[in-house]
Amino acid sequence: MPVPSDGSPAAGPVLRLGVLGCAEIARRRMLPAMAAHPAVELRAVASRSAARAAAAAAPYGARPVTGYERLLADPEVDAVYLPLPAALHAEWVGAALDAGKHVLAEKPLTLEPARTRALLERARALGLVLRENVMFVHHGQHAVVRRLLADGAIGEPRSLHAAFTVPAPADGDIRYDPGLGGGCLADIGLYPVRAAVHLLGPELDVAGAVLSSAPGRRVETSGAALLRRADGVVAQLSFGMEHAYRSRYEVWGSEGRITVDRAFTPAADHRPALLLERASGTETLALPAEDQVAASVGAFAAAVRGLPGGPADEAALLAQADLLSSIRRAAS
């Protein structure tokens, strides 16, 4: 697609987008954000069920499509958003790329680092944009934290403590199905792992990990990992999906600490209040509300059009994939 002459996100031709699948995250968060974004036109929603496709597409005036292949064959769709179960990502991301479509895929991009690398290489060879939909990195509160760290606001970083836990999904949820890539590591643990990479850099190794399953579950429902950097900085991560909700990280330094609450899934109207604690006193940094879902959609549209649009660090994506795989190996 051509770059808009004035460089604005809404100028020039919009990104004609199709959706492969009707998962809850698509219906609840992504479809509304796509339909509202000035740089995007939501063209079609595909499902294996005609009724599900029609129900998901109707509120936005999009065309329902029965079958993913039919949507990929549509020449009036430039790009696809893919919220299918994790175990199906590699197959359908590859099919979309082969059909000439740019792809925004739900996280994790794949369940195997080698397949993630292969798909990124394929996209690059085809001149297509492939992004993983890790939305929280597009929220401005984390850019503020990175700036504080770079400015030495808490001295030398010593450790990161990050936790993301959510209440139990309903019985029958795909996250309980090992055949579909279920389990809390890839779905929930990914967030604190990516936070460690985002704040401490990609050069992290796994020092130890634990994964455990609640009684009667066939997938892991809780876990913890210890990551380390060559200079001794560590990250202590906790995650789970049968817990009270917690979404928080703290960065400890030689001279202070930064705390971020509602770190990973803040509502669009949430006004972040970063806590900066130092020997001289405690300061609360009040930040404006941001919609990280809209920001992620906008970043993808901008990338397709060759514009700057927020974090797109392939090294971070690959480090995340490697760490998730290493955590699973260390825990077993």
pLDDT digits (tens, 9 = 90+) for 30-53: 999 999 999 999 999 999 999 999
Catalytic residue status for 101:
no
CA pair distance 54, 218, nearest whole angstrom = 33
Average pLDDT over residues 118-135: 96
- Can you give the residue ranges of every domain in the chain? 15-134, 140-289
Order across the sheet with 63-66: list the strands.
Answer: 63-66, 40-47, 15-20, 79-82, 102-106, 130-133
Q: Which of 16, 107, 228, 270 is catalytic?
A: 107
The architecture (CATH level 2) of 15-134 comes to 3-Layer(aba) Sandwich (3.40)
CA pair distance 8, 22, nearest whole angstrom = 30
Q: In the structure, what pLDDT confidence band is assigned to residue 8 with cuts at 50, 70 and 90?
A: very low
Average model confidence (pLDDT) for the chain? 94
**pLDDT exceeds 80 at position 309:** no
Give pLDDT, residue 311: 56
Give pLDDT, residue 1: 40
Question: pTM of the entire structure?
Answer: 0.93
Give pLDDT, residue 313: 79
How does strand 157-165 pair with strand 256-261? unpaired
Tokens of 219: 């997938």
Fold: same for 15-134 and 140-289:
no
CB burial readout 82-119, b (16+ within 10 A) else e: bbbbbbbbbebbbbbbebebbbbbbbbbbbebebbbeb
Look up the CATH number of domain 140-289: 3.30.360.10
Q: In the structure, what pLDDT confidence band is assigned to residue 13 with cuts at 50, 70 and 90?
A: confident
**pLDDT exceeds 90 at position 176:** yes
